[in-house]
Amino acid sequence: MFERFTEAAIKTIMLSQEESRRLGHNFVGSEQILLGLIGQGRGIAAECLRRKITLKTARTEVEKIIGRGSGFVAVEIPFTPRAKQLLENSWRVAQHLGHTYIGTEHLLLGLLDLPEGVAIRVLVSADVNLSNLRKEVLGRVGGDSGVDINYWNDLPTDPLIPDAGDLTDYNYRCYGHDAIAVLSRSCAAAEMLGNRLIGSNHMLLAMLQDESLLKAIAVSGASIAEVRRQILHSVQPEGENSSNGEKVFSEESHKIFHGAWAAAREHNHRQICKEHLLAGALCQESVGDKILKDLGGDPTASRSAISAALQQFATSTGSGEKVSHSTASEETASGESSSYKSKDVATGMTKERLLVLALLIVCLLCFLLYRFAKP
């Protein structure tokens, strides 16, 4: 991918690595790439960002959120999962715009496509309107590119049913990475059970593999083990070799997408996340709603828990951007910028350094004993 980067984009990545070293972190996350984009100084991204947030302000916000690291930084600093997602988004953005290269403008648009993360939190805390920033970047890229700017800022009017065969298609950018993960597990569940059609039962099984969604379902009072057993019992075999056909989402599963869309619009979110999918799966009169009721559970309690979780997502002024205000430790659990402020990791590194120091002292003592013990 990096062979497609422009000189300015490569410089941005190099600056992001320097920002990691400056704070003593052994990773490059979305926040370091944001600092690199601002600090780069040249290009569309830097010009658009520096009118809204200074490098000093951004650095202060980043340090406030993730703190300083242990100071032990490897020669090669790896990207976090979210930074990798940002880079993948950037290439898809470039392709969508008909470009064969990745510039700073694509990196910024790829960053703005992230459903959450430290970089998004930094921009929101500086009162940056993400929707307007995206429009400004697209306007600078070129108004004659044929891009429908509204498509980049709002959910389509009708639910967009993904192609189960290619969930990474850029047309499905309205689905967050956590929602795509649920849909991918749904496809895997259908294949494992020998089904071509991906139904609501497969999607529910996929949601039961997610800890936070599992807790929301458990609020109903129904036994999770019984819920899983009931879902598996509801799966209808489609005959031999049916799993070899092209996977498609069934009409029943379309109701989940419609419910997810409704939940997103209710909370003014512009991207579908896993909580929206669960909201759709537990709509009144849905398969999930019926299963919980049959097992003596209260689906209304689960719906309330999901709604409360969705309300905790902040939206930037006028943009409807879903942003999670999770703590640094919560972000670590979700895969963003691992080892932010983890005491365990810091303690582990301290022990490692002490061990190396002890070995050096032992070696020195052995040398001295050998040197002065010689006749």
Return the structure tokens found at 218: 């458990």
Task: Give the model's pLDDT for residue 163.
Answer: 77
Rounded CA gap, 89 and 168, in Å? Answer: 10
- Where are the chain's structural domains? 2-153+319-341, 170-315, 342-375
Enumerate residue ranges in the chain where pLDDT < 70.
Answer: 1, 72-73, 142-156, 168-173, 237-245, 313-354, 373-375
Residue 172's pLDDT is 59
| Residues 309, 327: Cα–Cα separation, whole Å | 15
Alpha helices in the chain (DSSP H): 7-22, 30-40, 44-50, 55-66, 81-96, 104-112, 118-125, 130-141, 177-192, 200-207, 211-218, 224-234, 251-266, 274-281, 287-294, 299-311, 328-333, 343-373
Which residues are paired to 5 by β-bridges? 102
CATH of 2-153+319-341, one of 2.30.130.10, 1.10.1780.10, 1.20.210.10, 3.50.50.100: 1.10.1780.10
Residue 164 tokens, joined: 């189960």
What was the pLDDT predicted at 256? 93
**Nearest one of 157, 187, 156, 183 to 274, comparing CA atoms:** 183
Same CATH topology for 2-153+319-341 and 170-315: the answer is yes
- Which residues have CB under 8 Å from 20's CB, separation 6+? 26, 27, 28, 32, 73, 77
Provide the CATH number for the domain formed by 170-315 in this structure: 1.10.1780.10
Contact 81, 155 (CB under 8 A): no
Per-residue model confidence (pLDDT) at position 273? 86
